[in-house]
Structure 1
Amino acid sequence: MEQPTIPNKNNFYCVGLSYQKADATTRGIFSITATNKEALLSEAHQKGFTEVLLISTCNRTELYGYTQNPFQLIQLLCDYSNGTIDDFQKVGYVYKSREAVQHLFEVGTGLDSQILGDFEIIGQIKQAFALSRKYQLANAFLERLMNSVINASKRIKNETILSSGAASVSFTAVQYIMQQVSDVCNKNILLFGIGKIGRNTCENLIKHTQNTHITLINRTRSKAEQVAGKFNVIVKDYEALPTEITQADVLIVATGASTPTITKDLIPTHKPILILDLSIPKNVSDDVSSLPNVSLIHMDELSKRKDEALERRKEAIPQALQIIEEVKEEFVQWLNNRKFAPTIKALKSKLETLKESELDFHRKKLPDFNELQAEALSSRIIQKITTQFVNYLKETQSLEESISWVQEVFQLEVQH
């Protein structure tokens, strides 16, 4: 299979960092706010980038795009986050061309997720793609690649057990609570922060614990009320947070603050309390764990827990990779077709010119020349010749050389 290549002087790169090498604190430094996402893409468009995709989640921050040098993408990443070039060099990665394409497939299908098979990422990628479109940074290549990744994700979800069971971060958190807290259905559970992870955790709490003592607090009360409208939970004002913490048996922190919001002085010492920090960056001060009555666990630790569902999912990895290869092959074929299409178009034009010249010659030379038959016959021959070349170029292992050879033999003037 011909590997993906870029049909111009630039190359397709992915630069980024993820949970695999960067800890929660470092990932927090490189996380990009919603406002900065738009600012980054706006600058990329102004600087002449043609295709850019920005993914920034709790587990990774990645930038995909065409460029002559990946440093241009790394610089954008650092300009709109709190990271530096030195920080990136310690934990970041750069993928080029086919490796970048493969990486996006593995990210989009959950193979590179912190919890294997977590399909929430494909929704986040779709949102990222919509933002790229908004800033005119999603053209034919990226759109086709995105459609291929989405197709692979759907197939893997439907045809394998990679998504079987529940092994998302939110479910793992709830599973941990159920394992650590006895009589959990009668405990006071406080959920602070109702972003996507917070909402999913709330839904899993209700579904799996049957607890009716769940309280939601969010800086913006109206957002908490929207979530509460779907579930039978209590909403309290942000100002009530210290009081509610003193009454909680379980505290789940899932806020998006850039600095810790839960400090040691907020934690009661008269009774045991389990605290789960599902925030990136961390929103619970590290010194909270020094309190003797506190059990503190961070999302990174939860993600490392091995459960039966995760082990089952590992069995599906070879099948998932095979599906990716099948879908990627279709994408690569499309990419190669785009690559040689201008040459085939020029070849057909050259043959049409030769045909018209020959028809004109015989029209003048032969008094009984049958022009209609000659036109039909020569057109069929041209069609067969171009089809033969198309088939050859589809199968060749040296596409660049073959295209160059066709252009040289027929002295083609190719317009890309």
Structure 2
Amino acid sequence: MEQLGSTKKTSFYVIGISYKKADAKLRGDFSLSPTKKARLLNQAKTSGIQSIVATSTCNRTEIYAFVNDPNELVQLLCNNTVGTIEALEPVAYTLKDSLAIEHMFRVGAGLDSQILGDFEIISQLKSSARVSKKYGLLDAFLERLINSVIQASKRIKTETKLSSGATSVSFASVQYILKSVKDVTTKNILLFGTGKIGRNTCENLIKHTKNEHITLINRTRDRAEKIAGKFKVLVKDYSQLPEEIKNTDILIVATGAQNPTVDKQLIQNKKELLILDLSLPKNVDENVKDLKNVTLTHLDELSNITDETLNKRKEFIPVAEAIIEEIKNAFLAWLEYRKFAPTIKALKEKLNVFAEAEIDVQRKKLEDFNKTQADLISAQIVQKITNHFAHHLKQEASSGKKSLELIQEIFQLDS
């Protein structure tokens, strides 16, 4: 599968690391913050890569691109994270062309998520594509593919119950709290971090716990206040974090920091404290386990939670896969058409030259010649002829190359 519009012989690859083989610590080593992603894209552009998208979530980091050798992408990832090639090799995966396309569809549909039906990856894919486009690194192929994946994701959400109810890590964390904490409505809950996972967790807390003692803290107070206004919860300043931790029963950490923001020195309370770390890299230092009153749970443990609702979602996998197959085939048909579109365009231009020449001859012969009407008729005939050729090439995909060569030879078109 060669890159559209490129003279370089490249293939479409995805390289990645996910929860399937790598634990949270290792995934954290290869996670891409916005700054790291920007640096990666700049390096890709400098090295001659023309189309690339990099995504990074708590469950996976993946790079999709057209390259000669997938090791180029491995090197890019290692150059811009703290991970090493030696650490990546045993857990990484590499997929090429049709397998890479299939993988992107399954990821976007929530079929490859740590919690079945979790669609949070799709927003990451959208934003990553926007960033690549800003850098001039999103070609027609990759843009169309991502749009097709988004379309499949929307249809699966609408036409199946694969994502019925909440289906994310934030949902799993609330389920964990409900199962682990008695009288949860009376407990003080502190949410530190108001990114997407933090917002979703806040919404799920209110919806499922009926707790009215929820406090938000974020490094930027404005962001916390926006969420607090929507959900009617308290907001405290970042400087009040130690004091608030002292008064809380459940601490949920969902910040986007690259290093731990909570450690045992920050915890002064003596009562039982449950800490859920929903961040990647981990934002809670393991040393909090030294405190006997503290229980620490990370998102990998939360994602192993299964319940009746999640099991029911499995019934909708075949329908989701059928939707993916339909939209994927439409994408591949578009891709096939792109291969002969230049020939059809050249054919149309050649037929227009023939038409113009004949109209010019007839105009000189006939005194009452109506050029406007002749132009209209000839344009319609040319369009019908090119449509017939295009339809033939679509229908004869297996022998498309021979048909293209024959058209180019008959009409003396540049190949």
User: Do both proteins adopt the same fold according to a TM-score greater than 0.5, normalized to the shorter chain?
Assistant: yes
Q: Secondary structure at the match of 1:329?
A: helix
Inter-partner Cα distance in structure 1 for 2:139 and 2:262? 44
C-alpha deviation, 1:336, in angstroms? 0.9
Task: Confirm whether residue 167 of structure 1 aligns to residue 148 of structure 2.
Answer: no
CA–CA distance in structure 1, aligned partners of residues 137 and 322 of structure 2: 30
Per the alignment, residue 275 of structure 1 pairs with 275
- Report the Cα offset of residue 323 of structure 1: 0.5
**Cα offset for 1:411?**
7.2
Per-residue CA shift, 1:193-234, capped at 9, x if unaligned?
A: 222111211121122222121122233333333332323322
Aligned residues: 409
The one-letter code matched in structure 2 to 1:158 is T
Q: Which amino acid aligns with 2:341?
A: A
Question: How far 1:174 sits from its partner (Å)?
Answer: 0.9
The change in CA–CA distance for 1:21 and 1:352 in structure 2 (over 3 A counts) is same
Once the two structures are overlaid, the 10-residue window that deviates more, 267-276 or 128-137, is: 267-276
- Post-superposition Cα deviations, 1:325-377, rounded to whole Å, max 9, x if no partner, equal 111111111111110112233445566778899999999xxxxxx9x9x9999
In structure 1, the residue corresponding to 2:167 is in which secondary structure? coil
Amino acid at match of 1:184: V
SS of residue in 2 equivalent to 1:91: coil
| Deviation for aligned residue 1:410 | 2.9
Residue 246 (structure 1) shift: 2.7
Pick closer, same or farther for the CA change 1:345–1:195 going to 2, 3 Å. Answer: closer
Name the structure 2 match of 1:37: 37
Residue 338 of structure 1 corresponds to 338
Residues 398 and 183 of structure 1, relative CA distance in 2, 3 Å threshold: same
Q: Counterparts of 1:380 and 1:225 in 2: how far apart (Å)? A: 61
Q: What residue number does 1:319 align with? A: 319
Structure 1 pair 267/339, CA: closer, same or farther in 2 (3 Å)?
A: same
What are the within-5 Å matches in structure 2 for residues 388-403 of structure 1? 388-398=388-398, 401-403=401-403
Report the more deviating stretch, 341-350 or 61-70: 341-350
Gaps of 5+ in 2: 364-368
Aligned to 1:225: 225
In structure 1, distance between residues paired with 2:399 and 2:265: 66
Report 1:247-396 matches (<5 A).
Answer: 247-267=247-267, 270-289=270-289, 291-348=291-348, 386-396=386-396
Q: Which moved more, 1:208-217 or 1:22-31?
A: 208-217
Unaligned 5+ segments in structure 1 are 364-369
Match of residue 111 from structure 1: 111
CA contact (8 A) 1:393 1:403 kept: yes
Query: Is the contact made by 1:6 and 1:97 (CA closer than 8 Å) also made in structure 2?
Result: no
CA contact (8 A) 2:78 2:84 kept: yes
- Aligned in 2, Cα 1:269/1:353: closer, same or farther, shift over 3 Å? closer
Helix, strand or coil: the match of 1:317? Answer: helix
Change (3 A) 1:379 1:35: closer
- CA 1:353/1:283 → structure 2, altered by over 3 Å: closer, same or farther? closer
Structure 1 position 43, deviation (Å): 3.1
Percent of pairs with identical residues:
55
Query: Partner of 1:124 in structure 2?
Result: 124
Indicate how the Cα distance of structure 1 residues 386 and 215 shifts in structure 2: closer, same or farther if over 3 A, else same. Answer: closer
Pair 358,81 (structure 1): closer, same or farther in 2 beyond 3 Å? same
Q: How far, CA to CA, are the matches of 2:36 and 2:232 in structure 1? A: 35
Distance in 1 separating the partners of 2:268 and 2:378: 90
Shift of 1:134: 1.0
Kept in 2, the 8 Å contact 1:277–1:283? The answer is yes
- Larger deviation, residues 263-272 vs 89-98: 263-272
User: What residue is the counterpart of 1:209 in the other structure?
Assistant: 209
Q: Tell me how far apart the structure 1 counterparts of residues 360 and 234 of structure 2 sit (CA, whole Å).
A: 87
Aligned equivalents of 2:379, 2:188: Cα separation in 1 = 80
Amino acid at match of 1:198: G
Alignment deviations for residues 235-264 of structure 1 (CA, whole Å, 9 cap, x no partner)? 233333333223221111112222333323
Alignment-derived partner of residue 54 in structure 1: 54
**Distance in 1 between residues matched to 2:264 and 2:412, nearest whole Å:** 74
- State whether residues 393 and 402 of structure 1, in contact with CA within 8 Å, keep that contact through their aligned partners in structure 2: no
**Cα distance in 1, alignment partners of residues 265 and 353 from structure 2:** 85
Deviations 1:167-196 (A, max 9, x none): 211111111111111111111112222221
Tell me, in whole angstroms, the C-alpha distance in 2 between the residues paired with 1:296 and 1:251: 10
Q: 1:83 corresponds to which residue?
A: 83
* Cα separation, 2, equivalents of 1:330 and 1:248: 53
Using the alignment, how far apart are the partners of 2:378 and 2:217 within structure 1? 77
What is the SS of the residue equivalent to 2:90? helix
Alignment check: 8 A CA contact 1:221 1:238 kept: yes
Which residue is 1:235 aligned to?
A: 235
Which residue pairs with 1:366 in the alignment?
Answer: none
Q: Identify the structure with bigger relative contact order (alpha carbons < 8 Å, sequence gap 6+).
A: 1
Deviation of 1:35 (Å): 1.7
State the Cα distance separating 1:406 from its structure 2 match: 2.3
Q: Which moved more, 1:378-387 or 1:116-125?
A: 378-387
Of stretches 316-325 and 104-113 in structure 1, the one that deviates more from structure 2 is 104-113
Q: One-letter code of the match for 1:32?
A: L
Return the TM-score normalized by structure 2: 0.87
Distance in structure 2 (CA, Å) of the matches to 1:238 and 1:68: 48
Tell me: CA distance 1:406–1:224, structure 2 relative to 1, closer, same or farther (3 Å).
Answer: same
SS in 1 for 2:16: strand
> Quick one: which amino acid aligns to residue 11 of structure 2?
N
Sort the Cα spacing of 1:348 and 1:202 in 2 relative to 1 into closer, same or farther, 3 A: closer
- Which residue number corresponds to residue 17 of structure 1? 17
Higher mean Cα deviation, 283-292 or 255-264?
A: 283-292
* SS of 1:252 mapped into structure 2: strand
Aligned residue for 2:366? none
Amino acid at match of 2:65: G
Q: Which amino acid aligns with 2:164?
A: S
Instruction: Say if 1:134 and 1:288 are closer, same or farther in 2 by CA, change over 3 A.
Output: same
Q: Is the 8 A contact 2:242 2:268 kept in 1?
A: no
